[in-house]
């Protein structure tokens, strides 16, 4: 389950087996509500985050640097620790945040002014 306040326009989330791109977030409902690109409405409690995987990183142009690291450009690195649900996102060697989901990586990329339109 995802809370409405944790979502931004452009986030990728899952509804049942479908991937949804958030187009609008409404918090005037008790539990939050979003619309997708087809203007279909979804209650936020019905949405699931998409786990961030090495396959998703590679599909989006991230290059494997070491056994557990993926590099985007020259400065951003995602470190995937074996047997861990979380990954560490670093910028120039400094850890920015520990994340688990695609929409969390999208937020970091947007904050840095980078392309966050990921493919699943």
Q: What pLDDT is stored for residue 47 in this prediction?
A: 92
Residue the block writes with tokens 């002014």: 113
**Any idea which residue has 């493919």 for tokens?**
119
For residues 32 and 41, give the distance between their C-alpha atoms in angstroms, rounded to a whole number: 10
Residue 1 is predicted with a pLDDT of: 78
Apex 113 CA angle, 85 and 105, nearest 5: 10
Q: What is the pLDDT of residue 30?
A: 61
67 CB-contact burial (10 Å; exposed 0-12 / middle 13-18 / buried 19+): exposed
Residues of the chain with pLDDT under 70: 28-30, 74
pLDDT digits (tens, 9 = 90+) for 79-105: 887 778 899 999 988 999 999 999 999
Give the pLDDT confidence score for residue 110 in this predicted structure.
94
pTM exceeding 0.85 = yes
């Amino acid at each position: 389950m995802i809370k409405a306040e944790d979502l931004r326009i452009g986030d990728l989330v899952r509804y049942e087996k479908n991937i949804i791109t958030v187009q609008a977030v409404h918090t005037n409902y008790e539990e939050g509500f979003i619309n997708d690109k087809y203007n279909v409405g979804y209650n936020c409690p019905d949405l699931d985050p998409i786990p961030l995987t090495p396959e998703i990183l590679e599909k989006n142009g991230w290059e494997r640097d070491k056994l557990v690291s993926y590099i985007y450009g020259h400065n951003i690195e995602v470190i995937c620790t074996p047997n861990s649900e979380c990954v560490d996102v670093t910028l120039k060697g400094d850890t920015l945040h520990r994340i688990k989901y695609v929409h969390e990586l999208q937020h970091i990329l947007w904050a840095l002014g980078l392309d966050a339109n990921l493919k699943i």
